[in-house]
Amino acid sequence: MTTKRNSTYDLLVIGSGPAGQKAAIQAAKRGHSVALIDRKSMVGGVSLHGGTIPSKTLREAILYLSGLRQRVFYGKDYAVKEEISHLDLRRRVRMVEAREMQVIQAQLRRNEVDLYYGQAGFVDEHTLAIANDDRPDEILQGDRILIACGTHPLRNPEIPYDGQVIIDSDEILDLEFLPDELVVAGAGIIGLEYASMFAALGIEVTIIDKKTQLLDFVDQEIVERLIFHLRNLNVTLRLGETIQAVGKDDRGRVCVKLESGKTIRSEAFLYAVGRQTNADTLNIQAAGLSADERGRIAVNEHYQTAVAHIYAAGDVIGFPALAATSMEQGRLAACHMFSPSPELSAGPLPYGIYAIPEISMIGQTEQELTRLKVPYEFGAARFDELAKGGILGLESGYLKILFDPETLKILGIHIIGEAATELIHIGQAVFSLGGTLAYFRDSVFNYPTLAEAYKVAALDGLNKR
């Protein structure tokens, strides 16, 4: 804990995840006094402890050790390491977590953000009490307050979690073994990411979800391609199914009973059906605030709550609840609270899903454009037809540009495949600046690159037109 300057600050930030970090640093860079409050074990937020950083590190470790990216050259049985253990995966995750923790602490120290350890709770709309087991509560006052308290996995009270084989998404990184079979409840972003990762290790994975459609906010052609890949990884999809009960049989195997009458047995069970915010720990009622049934706090376009000097950002305000969007929400909230401006806006935001394969998108989907009766055309490129795709051994990958057939204005960009979450930023720049398909048609891309897919897709679209 840093040496404190005083107990009154220009800004108090609750939560040190992506939203809280960026807000605190933004305000500090503008010369404001800032205090950041979080539990000592959670500095860096859920993003660093059980969320974005460890899960994406796990993904890279799996892709490397399994040899999945190289199998087109060296055969379907190729692997860098024949027997991959949970310790192999955990080692890389812990190293990256430790490094990121050092980076975060250095940034806060460099920007003179005071860090308080403990559990924050509102006393009134300008005052927080920080509870810590080893000392009396500390009282801080702030002219402005940002709530960026993050989330925890939503748990079903009917499921007998044991932290060993019946687990939630925060516990999966602490598995003491790699199961031969895994049932995943929930086909949202978290469920699909972990399902595809474990399937890449050769684990038999079954996904169960009561919805009949995956990722309804993603372009459905991309979703269809994802389903094809999941099936290639031997993932079983049981959509439109509801779980009735979860338990163990006499041999200790997990038994998942479905309302349809099916029973699925597995070595492990992951419950990944949504998340609940941590707002219920903050006594927000004392500040005149309320939350919905998932603990989400309503905000306006500037991230102000119903109490004007109290802002909220990140997962606590709901969808899209991604680290990248949370960072920008926190930064914009800090900008607005000290220098209100109608021009402050995040603009169009990209989405990234780190399944195997990756998915990323910006703008509208074909389904949205059809529903809105907006005329459009599309151009597409397949990674296996690009020279760089051949060099990398890619057998799949797809980039699609949706555009206005008259003006050529770009309406949406959707990618599935290797480096999708990196490639989207080229399209994001052009899309955000109101660019047209002509930019990609007339631009020279390094050869060979996957980025060349933009030019190929543009020429394909113009041919259709």
Domain check: are 319 and 372 in the same one?
no
User: Looking at 255, 273, 291, which one is the last position of a domain?
Assistant: 273
Give me the domain span that covers residue 19: 8-153+276-338
Q: What is the pLDDT of residues 246-262, one digit of tens each?
A: 999 999 899 999 999 99
Q: What is the pLDDT of residues 294-308, one digit of tens each?
A: 999 999 999 999 999
Domain check: are 95 and 205 in the same one?
no
The torsion angles phi and psi of 274, rounded to 5 degrees, stand at 80, 175
Res 3: pLDDT: 45
Domain check: are 146 and 14 in the same one?
yes
**Does the structure show a pLDDT above 90 at 77?**
no
Res 1: pLDDT: 44
User: Looking at 225, 246, 273, which one is the last position of a domain?
Assistant: 273
Assign 108 to helix, strand or coil. helix
58 belongs to a structural domain:
yes
Residues in Cβ contact with 239 at an 8 Å cutoff, skipping those fewer than 6 apart: 187, 207, 209, 211, 212, 213, 214
Domain check: are 267 and 288 in the same one?
no
Q: What is the pLDDT of residues 121-161, one digit of tens each?
A: 999 999 999 998 777 789 999 999 999 999 999 999 999 99
Assign 431 to helix, strand or coil. helix
159 belongs to a structural domain:
no
Domain check: are 109 and 186 in the same one?
no
Tell me the sheet residues that pair with 140.
128
Domain check: are 149 and 171 in the same one?
no
Q: What is the pLDDT of residues 365-412, one digit of tens each?
A: 999 999 999 999 999 999 999 999 999 999 999 999 999 999 999 999
Domain check: are 90 and 29 in the same one?
yes
CA neighbours closer than 13 Å in the CB half-sphere of residue 311: 30
**Residue 3 corresponds to which tokens in the numbers above?**
């040496």
Domain check: are 147 and 284 in the same one?
yes
345 belongs to a structural domain:
no
What CA–CA distance (Å, rounded) separates 87 from 56? 16
Mean pLDDT over 335-342 rounds to 84
Look up the CATH number of the domain holding residue 449: 3.30.390.30
435 belongs to a structural domain:
yes
Count of structural domains, the chain: 3
1 belongs to a structural domain:
no
Please state, as a whole number, how many other Cβ atoms lie within 10 Å of the Cβ of residue 236: 15
Rg (CA), the chain: 24
Domain check: are 62 and 188 in the same one?
no
**Does the structure show a pLDDT above 80 at 344?**
no
Look up the CATH number of the domain holding residue 179: 3.50.50.60
Res 138: pLDDT: 92
Res 82: pLDDT: 83
350 belongs to a structural domain:
no
**Does the structure show a pLDDT above 70 at 195?**
yes
112 belongs to a structural domain:
yes
Domain check: are 211 and 258 in the same one?
yes
**Residue 110 corresponds to which tokens in the numbers above?**
């460099």
